[in-house]
Every structure is written in C-alpha cells, then in structure tokens.
Amino acid sequence: MYGSELHTFHIPVMGLGFTIDTPVKVGRFGISSVISIIEDELIEQMRKFHCGLAGEEFVEISVDMEDYRAKRFTEYLNLVNRIVNKQTEELRGLEFTEGSEIVKYFELLPDDCSVRKYYNEMVAEEDLQKKVLMQTELRKKIKPGAIDVNVMAKLDKTNYAKSGEALPVEFSDALSALRGFANSDLNSSVVFSAGYNPRLYAYVENFNDFFPDEAGILKKKIILKVSDYRSAHIQGKLFAKKGLWVSEFRIESGLNCGGHAFATDGLLLGPILEDFKTKKEEMRDELFMLCNSALIAKGRPVFDSRPELKVTVQGGIGTANENKFLLDYYEVNATGWGSPFLLVPEATNVDDVTLQELAHAKKEDYYISHASPLGVLFNNFRKSSSEIQRKKRVDKGRPGSPCYKKFLSLNTEFTSLPICTASREYENLKIKQLKEKNLPAEVYEKEYQVIIEKDCLCEGLGAPALIKNGLRLDHNLSAVTICPGPNLAYFSNTFSLKQMVDHIYGRINILNSLKRPNMFVNELSLYVDYLKNEVRDNIHLASENKNKLMNTFKNNLLSGIDYYKNLIPKLKSETEEYIAQLKKDLESFESIIAAI
C-alpha cells in the first residue's frame, strides 16, 4: 500500500505545472502525488493563488531576499500541507450522504481493500446504532495521500548575484530546491530523478529530517527514480554509506513514459522488475547494514530493524489487469499512473485548448523528439501550441526561444556563461557554425533540423497551470508544451477522478476502440524503433565499439522477448485471444530485431 496505505497507485510528477497543486485536488481522498519544485516563479504565483482561495494572507518573497528560491519552495509546500490537512479534517466531519466527499473517499478505494470492505458492511448495516459506530471507526481511518516533491538532479545550474559573481554552491538550483523541501513542515518524500548528482546527494546529509530519530522514524524520506536494478543498487549504497536510507525505488520504463525518456541498453521493463523481485530483500539487508554502520560512526540513532524498502513501477500501464499483475506477480508496492490523469481536470492543470486536443488526438500525434535542451529524448505532442509556435519561428527565420528563466542554461560551447540550447542566441550561433562547414545539402539539412528542434520547456511546461487558473502569464508567453507518454493514445475524452480511479481498479473500462497491445509489447515496440533509428543515424560510425553497443542492445531485446514468452502462462487474467496476439507480437518483433 502507498501514501495513505489504502490506494495502490500514485500520480507521478508531470512537467512543471501539471501536478503543481495536484495534492490540493486529490490529497484528501488518500491519493498520493508529486509536485515539481524547480520553477520558483511559478511556485510563487501558485502560492499567491492558493492563499487567496484559502483565505490566507499572501506575503511576497521577492528576488531581493536572501535564499529566495528555497524560501518560496518552503512556504508553498507548507501552504499545500495546511490546505490538505484542513480539507481532510473537514472531510472527516461530513455526513455519509449520497454525493458527499466522505462517501467519495471510500468509494474510490480498491474493492479488495479492508477499509473499503468495512465501508460496504456499514452501508449494508440496518441497525442504526451499529451503523453510527461503524461510521465513527471509518472516520478514524481517513488519511490524506502523500505530498511528495520531485527534484531533477540534472537541473542544477550555478546561480549568480546581480554583480555577476557566482553564488556559493548551496544556492544552485537543485540544492536550493532540496533545502526548500527539507525546511518545510511536510512529512513526505523527495523524488530524485534524471541522473546522479554527487553534490546534491552529499547535501542531503545537512538535514536532520532525513536521518532516523530516536524511534527510528524518518520525517523526510528519499525516493530514487531508477531505470534498472544495477542503478538502484549503486545509488542505494551511496546513500546508505552516508547513513541515509532510500525508502523507495521508483522504476520507470525507459521509453514508455511521459516527459524525458532515458533509454536503457535494451533492458526491458519485465526483466528489470524480475531483478527487483528476486534481489530486493538481499539488497535491503546489505543497505541496512551499511546504513546502520554509518549512523553509528556519525553518533546518530540507528534503525532497530530493517526499514521498509518500497518498489513501485510506472510508465505505460493502461488496464486494470496490467495494474493488478504488476502488484501481484512482481510484488511491487504501488504503480504510477501519469499521462492518463492529464485528461482528468479534477486532478491536473491542463488548459482547455490543449485538453481538447489531447482528448481527440490520434496515435501519430504522440512522438519521441529531440526537443529537450538537456539532450535527452523527450516525449512530445504534435498539436501542442508550443510545437506550432516553434515551427512558425523557424518559418519566419527566427529559430529558437527568448530565454528568460534559464533553468536549462547549461551549454558553454560559445559563451563563458552557460546558455540554453533552445535559446535564440544559441541556435543562431550553432546555425552560423554549421554554415561554415560547407556540408553537402542532405547532411546540412539533417544537422539543421537537430538544432531547430530544441524548444523552451521552462515556459511551456508551466503555462497550463497559469492559463487554467486565470493567472498572469510569465513574459506574456502563452504557448503550452505538454509531454504525454505514448500510452495516452489509447485514452480519448476527458474523465472525472472517479472514472479514472474506477478504471485503474477494474470497475469500468475507459479505453478507446484503438487496438492496444500489452504494455510490455508497447515498450518493446518503442525500443525496436529506437534501435532502428540508432542504426540509421549512426551507420557511418561502424566502429568496433559502436557495433558492440548495438549487439548488446539487440541481445538484451531478444533476451527480453524470451523472458516474456516464459511469462505468458502467468497472465491468467487475460483472454485466449489476448494471449494469442501477445505471442504473435513477440514473434514478429523477434524477427524484426534479428534482421537489424
């Protein structure tokens, strides 16, 4: 169980603004979600907005204040925490009448949950006195979902004073974000994603809340988003040797996910999950010994027994059967459902125009792009206003974006101070350099497209939260970037929170009529396309090392297919037709890979 220990799914972080206040929307129903704490200007605007709704005084934290970024994060998280706690307390006091939020709380729970079963017994109870006593017991079981935060480890640029002097390292983007969370009132987790950052990981040691108290309780916990077991094991040990416990490994599909896509070397989700299933307890023992040894050396309280080590999985889950199989067979603690919740206005911030485009989108509207200035693959949506704006700028001979926020200003190829590869400044410099190479037209065009495909994410990923809530748009930039996973192609229309949760738990089916393969096959298909593109784009690099990497990739895919073939008998909830199609899909991809 996860968060409130009742629901078995969470809503992962999405973009900068899509889930920025999701806890305020769904937390009182026991649903856990994740807030991005990167964009402090957006956070400050949302704090002002929610202070107004909550009837609280808003005191601005200006950019002239010392450590303003961290303070903005702390105050916003404290506000969200107060709001969710107040909402939960009010919900506990409601009557069990049809349509009330307290009824909604219990009716959203999974059917096999003990609390849901007790609620059903209360509803059926005819003895009024006993019914009232049961309702009192149910009120005690109401708990809000976790208010977790996400820090992208790679987004850690150095910041500068107005004088132009570099600020001390603790004022970098990622460290400021972590400090903002650490100083908050929250009793929740920070999710570290997008790679390893030594200075960020070392900085965690500065905050007591990440260490166990005398009772062995952690007020603040660490979640690592990982792509495979090896990465989890290595990073887990890095923290354990500092006396820091990783409370959860959040496994995400390399390509079948929203946002940035970090492709593995052909390692598929099923075999990765099998690794965790078979090795988790062994790793837990090892980390426990390392962690307690470090705590003793630091003179800190130790854990009396092995702390809980959760494993969760997200990326491309689409049906209740898939969800249940992940929970039952792989014994994960919870699943993450991201992109489908973009179609749930009750849960996320998507402006009306983009929401309607998503609701009526076709499969080909979702694609993996090179739009991210980070140089990492990025899931994109062809009909987004930001993609339309990017093309218009190119057509006008003005490629690139004005760069105001500079969170992704990490490139020093042409300048002493880092700039963003999606900025107009960088793209003009890069195009000028490209022209000087006197390349053949075909080669020039290919490299030119790579340059101009980069787009501004700082503005576009935050704009929907501002547009939806009628707030001032930063720098009057209204183009929206949205980055759903390809799995969203199988969901059409908009949905209520209850409809989406009922779908997850198998009470209804809201998938569209598009034929949808198994989630593992969908991921396999993405990896095959990725491999073919790698071979096509790098055919001129036929070095021994490149061939070795490609062969490793192919062999991992083929090994994954063999694994799935052996897994088929375990899929007992699926129909014969479904199984037959799964076998056919695996054999087809096996032939395609062998021929590459």
- Strands 377-381 and 366-369, by their bridges, are antiparallel
- Side-by-side strand order, sheet with 377-381: 260-261, 377-381, 366-369
pTM of the model: 0.94
Query: At a CB cut-off of 8 Å and minimum separation 6, what does 192 contact?
Result: 151, 153, 200, 201, 222, 223, 224, 225
| Res 2: pLDDT | 41
Q: What is the CA radius of gyration of the chain?
A: 24
d(CA 248, CA 6): 17
- Strands 377-381 and 260-261, by their bridges, are antiparallel
Dihedral over alpha carbons 317, 318, 322, 323 (to 10 degrees): 70
d(CA 259, CA 593): 26
The structure tokens listed for 470 are 């009628």
Average pLDDT of the chain, as a whole number = 93
Nearest to residue 307, comparing CAs of 352, 248, 354? 248
The structural domains of the chain, with segments of one domain joined by +, span 1-147, 385-481, 517-596
Where would I find the beta strands (DSSP E) of 66-168? Answer: 147-152
pLDDT tens for each residue of 562-582: 999 999 999 988 999 999 999
pLDDT tens for each residue of 401-450: 998 888 888 899 999 888 999 999 999 999 999 999 989 998 899 899 98
- pLDDT < 50 stretches in the chain: 1-3
Percent of the residues in the chain that have a pLDDT greater than 90, as a whole number: 82
| Res 551: pLDDT | 87
pLDDT tens for each residue of 456-480: 888 889 999 999 999 988 777 789 9
